Amino acid sequence: MSSSPSIVSSLANASQQITLYLGQSILIFGIIGGTLNLIVFLSLKTFRQSSCAFYLIIMSCVNIGQLVTGCLSRIMIVGYNIDWTQTSLFYCKSRWFFFQTFTLTSYACMCFAIIDQYLATSTYRRWQHWNNIKLAYCLCTVSFIFTILHGFPSIIYFNFTNLPTTNKLICTITNSVYQRYRTYGFNVFLAGALPVFTTVLFGSLAYRNVKHLASRTVPLVRRELDRQLTSMVLVQVVYISIAVVPYTTVIIIISNLDLQNKPILAAELQLAECLGAIIYYSYFATPFYIYICASKRFRQQLIYVLCRIHANYCRKPTRINNQISPESQMNSNTNKD
């Protein structure tokens, strides 16, 4: 029993170091990767006209937002012991609102993207008609409105309360019903089982379709784009299971245990929760790195966009009238990939 404080201190220090080094790396590389995703997707007409790429564009935007609002807050709280939620009621409420909004929007876009690729690679013509950019606009708008409305209860029920032991203000949920919903309805179902099940199911169907894509009479450029996007999102489907399941499992365990008189177990679970959260936030940071590993074509497009398009814009801000425009050159290069 005499060694209990030292064990708890060691576990707490491990949680702090993991958050500092891994958390900051995820934040920095995630923002860089998300920005590069947006540059590539928005620079090439091939992607701008693709409904699947549109979902990935929206997902890249909300992933950056999730890292800035969620991951950065965790780094400050656990890594630097600076908790802005204890000093500002506005930040206490808005942090969890943005966390839920960005999480659900990102998962919705991931599900839409893999379903879109399943429809795009389907042998049924009438299903392929659902693969269009207008529907993508509508689905993203509806999902964003839903996530905003879904986040409003967090603004109402997150408030300051006093810890009985230390008389210290903390930001927590003050409604027991909403607390149970957040644990099981949000963490387990909406941000856990539902996106994992949906992406794995339609990912398997899309993989089956893409294996027979070469035998179909579709334009070569469209076929290669479908292959590229399907391979990109399929690898991300595998990673979403790796990222979501551990964190969700730890949250359920912590929510169902009484840890008041078990400091060592509480510290161990805190360490497990810290590791799970780091893996969880890595989901929002890794799409760009998954894409460059999974798709040779994406690597070529990245080099082309950075070295040919934007580098030329920086070197030659004005072009001669009879010179080939960057847009036409970009499209011809993309069609050759």
d(CA 134, CA 180): 37
**In the chain, how many domains are there?**
1
Residues 236-251 pLDDT 10s: 999 998 899 899 999 8
Catalogue the E-assigned strands of the chain. 158-162, 169-173
Task: Please indicate, yes or no, if residue 81 is contained in any of the structural domains.
Answer: yes
Of 48-52, 72-76, 167-171, 246-250, which gets the smallest average pLDDT? 167-171
Question: Quick one: DSSP state of residue 172?
Answer: E
Q: How confident is the model at residue 210 (pLDDT cuts 50, 70, 90)?
A: confident
Task: Please indicate, yes or no, if residue 175 is contained in any of the structural domains.
Answer: yes
CATH number at residue 31: 1.20.1070.10
Task: Please indicate, yes or no, if residue 261 is contained in any of the structural domains.
Answer: yes
Task: Please indicate, yes or no, if residue 1 is contained in any of the structural domains.
Answer: no
Structure tokens at 139: 């689905």
Task: Please indicate, yes or no, if residue 308 is contained in any of the structural domains.
Answer: no
Q: How much is the pLDDT for 335?
A: 44
Give the up-direction half-sphere exposure of residue 216: CA atoms within 13 A in the CB hemisphere. Answer: 20
Residues 287 and 34: beta-carbon distance below 8 Å? yes
Q: How confident is the model at residue 111 (pLDDT cuts 50, 70, 90)?
A: very high
Task: Please indicate, yes or no, if residue 323 is contained in any of the structural domains.
Answer: no
Q: How much is the pLDDT for 126?
A: 80
Task: Please indicate, yes or no, if residue 311 is contained in any of the structural domains.
Answer: no
Task: Please indicate, yes or no, if residue 310 is contained in any of the structural domains.
Answer: no
Residues 63 and 30: beta-carbon distance below 8 Å? yes
Q: Give residue 258's domain range.
A: 11-303
Share of the chain above pLDDT 90, in %: 57
